[in-house]
Chains A and B, each alone.
Chain A
Amino acid sequence: MGSPPFFYRWSTTFSPWLALLAVIVFSAGLFWGIGFAPTDYKQGDVYRIIYIHVPSAILAESIYVLMAVCGFISMVWRAKIAGMLITSAAPIGAGFTLIALVTGSIWGQFTWGTWWVWDARLTSTLILFFLYSAIIGLHSSIENKAKADRAVSILAVLGVVIVPIIKKSVDWWQTLHQSSTFTLTSSPSMSPDMYQPLFVCVLGFSFLFIFMLTNSLRGEIIFRERDKLWVKNQFFGQER
């Protein structure tokens, strides 16, 4: 699985099925949440932003943790695919962080009356977005891809400290942002009619992420290995 040709062959077979699964679960979750979940007695229908905001925020943090793990693997075992994975996951992670920030801001405008506050949760999430941007920028600024992989691996591993800070920010500081709805130790503070579609959304967003990552990683593999014989045979369809 760690070898680029193997991953490329594997993803060629599974990518269409993954896309289909992602589209079905993602659409079902959003359709259920936005169209059929009950209205909140306090916030009204605007709370439905939760079905976009929360899965995006969960993915924004999870993708960074995945990148840090890959960074560690890349530094210790010099696995080529781990470096490629960081490069491919960073724009997707940045995208989900941006969605979490923008949707949070829109929701905040409705409920708090302001687009932005320098609140611990919001500020730490903005730092996460800057970290993703730094990884993308750093990687594209270094010509030698092996060196670039090493540099972004270090940044990914060091930067992962922001994830627990984001998670605990609502407990450590007085914030406008509400505390976690879901914890490992207690049952959700939402009604099952509301959190069931949320779980489906989180699942759908995760499948979508796996599909997007596979799609992007295939491009990265082809780009880096374009002079290799297996790419010429499999991608360009030329026998040499």
Chain B
Amino acid sequence: MLDSLHVLFIMDGSGPYVWLCFFVLMFVVSVNIILPIIRMKKIYKEGRLED
């Protein structure tokens, strides 16, 4: 199990390239999901304060 995980992470030296791409993807996707949620919360707070 650990051996196959090691193979998956290292990928004969290509691992750092592939996983770097994966983290770039996850970072950009997370930003695009989280920012609208933060915006909605901000609008909600401001709307509540106005009343």
- Chains A and B come from one and the same complex: yes
Tell me, yes or no, whether A133 is within 8 Å of chain B by CB: no
| Cβ contacts under 8 Å, B8 to chain A | 34-35
Inter-chain contact B24/A45, CB cutoff 8 Å: no
Please state if B44 and A236 are interface contacts (CB–CB under 8 Å). yes
A174 to B32, CA, bound (A): 35
Is the CB–CB distance between B39 and A219 below 8 Å? yes
CB distance from B37 to the nearest CB of A (A): 7
- How large, as a class, is the contact surface on chain B? 20 to 34
A102 touches B (CB below 8 Å):
yes
| A45→B36 contact, CB < 8 A | no
When the two chains form their complex, are residues A44 and B18 in contact, meaning their CB atoms are under 8 A apart? no
Chain B CB within 8 A of A103 CB: yes
Q: B32, A45: Cβ atoms under 8 Å? A: no
Are the CB atoms of A95 and B17 closer together than 8 Å?
no
Rounded to whole angstroms, the CA-CA distance of A3 and B20 in the bound complex is 41
- Residues of chain B lying within 8 A (CB to CB) of residue A98: 28
- CB neighbours (8 Å) of A52 from chain B are 21-22, 24-25
Using a CB-CB cutoff of 8 Å, which residues 1-51 of chain B contact chain A? 8, 11-15, 17-18, 20-22, 24-25, 28-29, 31-33, 35-37, 39-40, 43-44, 47-48, 51
Q: Is A81 an interface residue (CB 8 A)?
A: no
Distance (Å) between the CB of B14 and the closest chain A CB? 4
Nearest opposing residue in chain B for A47, CB measure: B14
Measured between C-beta atoms, what is the minimum distance from A227 to chain B in Å?
Answer: 9
A 24-68 binary contact with B (CB < 8 Å = 1; else 0): 000000100011000000001110110011001000000000000
| Residues of B with C-beta under 8 A to A107 | 17, 21
Let me know if A44 and B14 touch, CB within 8 A: yes
Selected contact of B18 from candidates A34, A215, A232, CB within 8 Å: A34
Q: Tell me, rounded to whole Å, the shortest Cβ–Cβ distance linking A20 to chain B.
A: 14
**A49 CB contacts on chain B under 8 angstroms:** 17-18, 21
Residues of chain A whose beta carbon lies under 8 Å from any beta carbon of chain B = 30, 34-35, 44-46, 48-49, 52-53, 56, 88, 91-92, 95-96, 98-99, 102-103, 106-107, 109-110, 208, 211-212, 215-216, 218-219, 222-223, 226, 232, 235-236, 238
Q: List 13 A-B contacts (CB under 8 A).
A: A45-B18, A46-B11, A46-B17, A53-B21, A92-B32, A95-B32, A109-B17, A208-B29, A212-B36, A216-B35, A236-B44, A236-B47, A236-B51
Closest 5 CB pairs of A and B: A45-B11, A46-B14, A45-B14, A103-B21, A219-B36
> 6 more A-B contacts (CB under 8 A) besides A106-B17, A212-B33, A218-B40?
A34-B18, A46-B18, A88-B36, A91-B35, A216-B36, A235-B47
